[in-house]
Amino acid sequence: MKLDVDGVVATARAWSAQDPDEQTRAELDAAIEAAASGDGPAVQELADRFAGRLAFGTAGLRAELGYGPLRMNRVVVSQAAAGLARFLVDTGRSRSVVIGYDGRVNSDVFARDSAEVMRGLGLEVTLLPSALPTPVLAFAVRHLGVGAGVVVTASHNPPRDNGYKVYLGEDDEGSQIVPPVDGTIAAAIDAVAAGSITDLARGTDYTVADDALLEAYVAATAATVPAAGLPVDQQPKVVYTAMHGVGWETARAVFLRAGFAEPTTVPEQIDPDGAFPTVSFPNPEEPGAMDLAIARGTAIDADLVIANDPDADRLALAIPDGSGSFRRLSGNEVGWLLGWQAAARASSDGRGGTLAASIVSSPALARVAERHGLAYRDTLTGFKWVSRVPELVFGYEEALGYLVDPDVVRDKDGISAAVALLDLATTLAASGQTVADRLDAFAAEFGAFASGQVATRVDDLSRIGTIMAALRSDPPASLGPVAVRSVTDYAEGVDGFPPSDILRYDLEGDARVIVRPSGTEPKVKVYIDTVAATPSEAQALVDALADAVRPLVS
């Protein structure tokens, strides 16, 4: 199909006219000039950049930085801020918002744009005073009693990405947005985007939060665990990395307030740096991301190596492997340990309540809940669902997200999870035990569970739909050595869940395989869970199933 060059150029010029960012405007103007001169690739690039808009969904916005409506930039962010403000006004919610941001490129700029646009539309706006962890923003929504919260972050995405995540206050208690609210906000953003952001009133008389807000988060988070049971010189030795993110200063304050020793840090990664110079992918799940931290742990003979992701809402843990190095625990293993600890306290206190995990997380937590007389709930993936489980005691998902105290933060929180792990490790150390011993005790108590993943990254997003369609049209009768007992397709909605692009295969012998597209990356992800008589048998079955499923999603 022949491109309408004049139309593409006119659309791009209209965008450039409202772009307040000198860099993106200059890049766009250069592309416009090239396209107007008849440069075919430049015309195609413009057509691609203006072929649609970033979809605002339950994860808000997330994309690479750059010009145009399919990238993260000041125009897109201003439109989103105005749309969210109009949503709050039109739905009768509190006309107040708190805004935070991390250390990524332009996060502070996008946060100030949001504050000015929302203030210009009449909202009471509080801006956090500096780049801070996402959990601090989630806490602030409830602590300040505002109608909504926004944090500018792309969490653990690639360095060139940024994003825009929305929380709701009042009856939503500081949880992330869920359908149908996301659609309503998206419609409000689209209405704003029909005009120019130069027509939006802006106000600079917003409030910048003072130290009392951060102090309240530190105090509340430190209080989620009992006082440390050992003097600091007898506690486990810990290495901490912020992975070039914003976690360290807040985490340090919480650790010290709770009575734990200050960890040894990874100096190359401790300060915020949006370029993420020492990691190719700032996600502690990725191979190599924790190498510097583990090297530091080996050098000082540490008992634990802990890592927050760049906005500190996730936590990774590595422990000595007995051969002079460390092994990183999976998100499920950390979830088992923290869930067991939370369940034991809830049952001993007579509180009752519910444990919850996303459906792609290990089924082990359900067994923990049963043994401790607690309820259990599966949720769809994402903490927007986990955090909304009634009477929640503890929730997690295998992607390194843990909610250890719903009364403080209704979202995953890598700092409170770190404190909970320090509490566990210190309690174990007081009786001469380690985290590895606790994992062995878990297997003895609840069964030898193992988990694994297969992920296929795609360059063409349509490939994801092709893979999922092929699995639906020709479901496997077996995966490797194990017969498929049943297949559940969540596309039409199952067990009260809204329709979701998820396939679940229940296998003979209590094994399970779940396939779904990633919600934040161009990937198809496969989650494998098994339980067997011994950990080695369970892991061997995971490996066999991974080999069997890999060709189906490649």
Task: Give the residue numbers marked as catalytic.
Answer: 155
- Work out the number of other CB atoms within 10 angstroms of the CB of residue 519: 16
Closest residue by Cα to residue 397 from 371, 370, 415, 377: 377
Non-local CB neighbours of 27 within 8 Å, separated by 6+ positions: 66, 67
CA distance 335 to 344: 14
b/e for 280-316, b at 16 or more Cβ within 10 A? ebbbbbeeebbebbbebbeeeebbbbbbbbbbbbbbb
Torsion of CA 393, 397, 399, 405, to 10 degrees: -10
* 203 phi/psi in degrees, rounded to 5: -130, 140
* 136 phi/psi in degrees, rounded to 5: -65, -40
CA distance 304 to 417: 14
Contact 371, 393 (CB under 8 A): no
Question: Residue 84: helix, strand or coil by DSSP?
Answer: helix
CA distance 495 to 509: 23
CA distance 379 to 387: 10
